Structure 1
C-alpha cells in the first residue's frame, strides 16, 4: 500500500545516485518536495534481505546508533517497529552484552544506552520496503550513471550512457567510490580538498546459526572483546577487536578486526585465530554454533572527508549524502547514522525552500553535523603508528594519543558504571547525539570523573570490574549496587 504525501513542490524531478542506505534515506527526504524522485542503482536490488555486489561490507556487523534510529524514524515513521518485527533485536548492551575491557570482564548493570541489532541486509530491506510505500519515488535498477550535465554553474541532470535525465536537484549517494568529484572537475570546478586518515583497519567475519536451545550459561547475546591494554609480549590476537554479534533469524556474525595487523583469510585460519584471543569464550561459542558462510575479509579504506564545503562556489543543484562526502573507519559504526542524519538535515533545509544558495547553506550545516563523528574517529585512529593520510599528526602527538586514548576510554567506561549522569552523556557521545568536547566541558560529568578517580584510587568502586577473562563473564545484575 503506497503512502501519499502532502507535497510542497520545489521542482519536478530529483535524482538520487545510489540505492543503498544513504540513497534510500535521501529519497525519503526528497519525496515531499518533488513531483518525482528517481533513485538510480547499479545493482539489481533483492526483494529479500540478501547480500549484493554493491555492499560488500554487508557481511560484517553493523550497529544502528540511536541518532540513526531517530533520523530514519523521522524520515520513515514506523521504521524501528518494522525492523524489530522483521527480526531486529532491541537490546541494552550493558545488560545483554558480555564486555571484556581492560584486564577483565565488566559487570552487568542497567544503563542509558539501548541499541537495535540486525544485519546490514535486513536494515536495507526494511528501508527498501519503506521507500516502496512512497508513491512518487521510482527506483531504477541495473543502471550506470556516466556523468553530470551542467548549465550556468548548476548541475542540471545526469547521463546514463545515451540517455539523459533532467533534474532540479541531484543527490550523490554513491559511496566511497563516487566519481562525482571527477565529473565536477571535468566540468570546470576545482578539485575539492580531501582529508584522509587510514589506520589500516582490516576485519574478517563468518556467519553462524545459534544452537537451539542456547546453552544455559549464555545469559549474554552479544560478546565484545576489546584490544588488550597489556604492553607485555602477547599473541597478535590480543590486539584484535572481537564481536560475537547477534542478528535476526537466531544467527550471529563472528568478527575479528585490527589496526595494521594481518587477519585470517581461510576458515582454518579464522578458527585457529579465535582460540588465541583474550578469552576462550569466543572460540567456545563458535564451536557451539553451526557455520553458514565462508570467511569474509575486508580492508577498510579509512576515514575520508571530501571538503566540498570549502569550494569557493560549490555546484548548485547538487548535494552529497553518506560516504560520498564523509566516510569513516567502520569499527566506529557511524556510517548509516551519519548518512541518515544528513538526509534528515536535507529535508529540514528543503522545507525552507530551494534557491541558488541552497547547496552552500546545506554544506555549511552538514559540516557541523559531520564534525561530531569525524572528531571521534580521529581521536582514536590518530594514535596508531600505521596510520597514513593528511590527518596523521606529528609524532609527539601521535605517541600522546596512543598512550592516553585507550586508558581514557576505559576510564570513561568505568566512570559510567558508577555514575548515571556520566553514563547518560557517554551514551549520547557513543550514539552521536553529543560531541566528545561537549561531554568533556560539562561540569557535572567532570565531577563524576573526579569522584570516580578518587574512588578508584582508594579501591572503593561500587561496581566491581576486571572479572577473570578466562572464566565465564559474571551474570549478576549490579544495577542496584550502582544505584546505592
Structure 2
C-alpha cells in the first residue's frame, strides 16, 4: 500500500540504504540524503572511517538484507565475497590453545565493509523510485503539529534517521519542543587498529585456514599486554586480508613500526608470520569511537510522528561484537513489516514501531552488556555496582570458553550458540533452553572425567591442527 508521496532517509551508508529498501514499496519517491560523494567502486570514504576494519555480516543481517534486496547474497559473492564455514575455515585460538576443526551449523560471508556498501548501492540503484542525493548535509527537520513534515525545505511524509552515532536529530527535536530521550551508555574503552594486506599468490601449504582468530588470554599471570588483544587476520575479496588488533582499555599501536612490533608479541607467532608473508597495502588505521549507546526514543510519552530511526542513530554497539550492520538491517526489515501492515504513517505508527524495535534491539544490547559490564574502567549509565561488576568479570570469560567447548561436543549447543552469535536468539532464551542446559551439563561431566570427544588447547606456538574432527564430534 502507498502511504505517501515522499519519504526521506538521512544518511546513505548501510543503514540508510536498507531503510530505502524498506520504504520503496510504500512511497512514490524515496530520497536518500548523503553528505559524502559516493564512490562508484568499493572504496573508503570519509563518512565511514570504520570501513577500514573487519566487518562480520551476521546471519540475521544476511537474511534481513536478502529480504529487502532479493539476490543480495549472490551479488556479494559474485563481487568477491567469501562464503565460508568458520569452524572449518578459521584457525581459532581460545583458552590455552588452538581449537579443533569440525563442521558446524554456522556459515558466514566474508568481505570488506566497502564491498558490502557498494553491492547495496547497486541494489538500491535498481529501485526506480529511490534517488540518492550526494554531497548534501541535512540542516534540520520541519514540523507540523506533532509530526515531522520534512527535512530543510524538502517536504516529506516520512523521515528515517540513519546518520549514525553522531546524529543531530535528538537536538533538532529538542529545539522543536520534544524532551531529550534518555540515553543509555557503556564505554568499555575499546580501541582497535588495522592494516590491509595482499595475500601471497601461492600461500604456504600449512595455510589450510582462511581466517585467523586469537582471543584474549585467560592467563591471570604476568604476560605482554598483547596477550590481552583480540586479533583477526580477516579474509576479504580480491585475495586480501585485514590484520586487526583490538583491546579493552589498553593502548594500541598507531604507527607501522609499533603495529608490526605488537603483532610479534601476540599469543601465537602465526599472526606476524601471516603478515610477513603478505604485502601491506595500507597505513595503520585506529578507531576509538566504540562505546555502546542507546537513545531511548521508545520511552518518550509522545515521540515525534512520521519519524523512525535505524542503525547507530538509535543504538550503537561496541564493534567487537559485529552487530552494527546486522542490527540496522533487522530494524529496516522490521520497519518494512510495519509499513506493510499500516494504513497510515501518522497517528501512533512511530510509537508502535519504536516499541517493536525495542524488543529487537534488546537482543544485541544484552549481548554487548554481558561482557563490557565486567571491565573496571567501563564508564556510562550501565556501569554496574562493583560487586556485580566483579561477578560479571569472573564469569563472562570462562563461561564463553565453556560454551564454545560444549558447542564442539554437542550439536544442539552449537546450533543455539550460533543463533545467539547471529542475533537470532537471545542469551536468556539460550540459557533457559532445556536441551542446551542438558548439553552443557553433559559437557561439564565429560570434562571432569577427561572424556571429551573433540580435543582442544593445541599448542599455540605450533601450527593449528588441520585435521577434521567432525567424526569425533558426531560420536
TM-score for the superposition, normalised by structure 2: 0.99
Of residues 365, 375, 391, the one that matches 1:384 is: 375
Aligned pairs (5 A) from 1:414-433: 414-433=405-424
Q: In structure 2, what is the Cα distance between the partners aligned to 1:221 and 1:384?
A: 32
How far does the alpha carbon of each residue in 1:386-420 deviate from its partner, in whole angstroms, 9 at most, with x for none?
10000000000100111110000000000000000
Is the partner of 2:180 in helix, strand or coil? coil
Contact residue 21 and residue 69 of structure 2 kept, 8 A: yes
1:297 aligns with 2:290: no
Aligned residues: 473
1:232 aligns with 2:221: yes
Q: Which residue of 1 aligns with 2:453?
A: 462
How far does the alpha carbon of each residue in 1:117-161 deviate from its partner, in whole angstroms, 9 at most, with x for none?
0000000000000000000000000011000000111010011xx
Q: In structure 1, what is the Cα distance between the partners aligned to 2:238 and 2:301?
A: 50
Contact residue 191 and residue 290 of structure 2 kept, 8 A: no
Q: In structure 1, what is the Cα distance between the partners aligned to 2:66 and 2:406?
A: 31
Aligned pairs (5 A) from 1:242-391: 242-353=231-342, 354=344, 355-391=346-382
Of residues 381, 387, 397, the one that matches 2:388 is: 397
Q: In structure 1, what is the Cα distance between the partners aligned to 2:341 and 2:244?
A: 44
Aligned pairs (5 A) from 1:164-243: 164-243=153-232
Q: In structure 2, what is the Cα distance between the partners aligned to 1:137 and 1:482?
A: 49
**1:300 to partner: Cα distance:** 2.5
Q: Which residue of 2 aligns with 1:441?
A: 432
Q: Which residue of 2 aligns with 1:121?
A: 114
**1:9 to partner: Cα distance:** 1.0
Q: Which residue of 1 aligns with 2:73?
A: 80
**1:189 to partner: Cα distance:** 0.2
Is the partner of 1:80 in helix, strand or coil? helix
Contact residue 290 and residue 319 of structure 2 kept, 8 A: no
Q: Which residue of 1 aligns with 2:150?
A: 157
**1:301 to partner: Cα distance:** 3.4
How far does the alpha carbon of each residue in 1:72-95 deviate from its partner, in whole angstroms, 9 at most, with x for none?
000000000000000000000000
Q: Which residue of 1 aligns with 2:130?
A: 137
Of residues 22, 30, 36, the one that matches 1:29 is: 22
Is the partner of 1:449 in helix, strand or coil? helix
Q: In structure 2, what is the Cα distance between the partners aligned to 1:457 and 1:299?
A: 41
Q: In structure 1, what is the Cα distance between the partners aligned to 2:169 and 2:223?
A: 46
Contact residue 93 and residue 215 of structure 2 kept, 8 A: yes
Q: In structure 1, what is the Cα distance between the partners aligned to 2:373 and 2:430?
A: 20
Q: Which runs of 4+ in 1 moved over 3 A?
A: none
How far does the alpha carbon of each residue in 1:410-454 deviate from its partner, in whole angstroms, 9 at most, with x for none?
000000000000000000000000001001111010000000000
Gaps of 5+ in 1: 1-7
Contact residue 158 and residue 167 of structure 1 kept, 8 A: yes
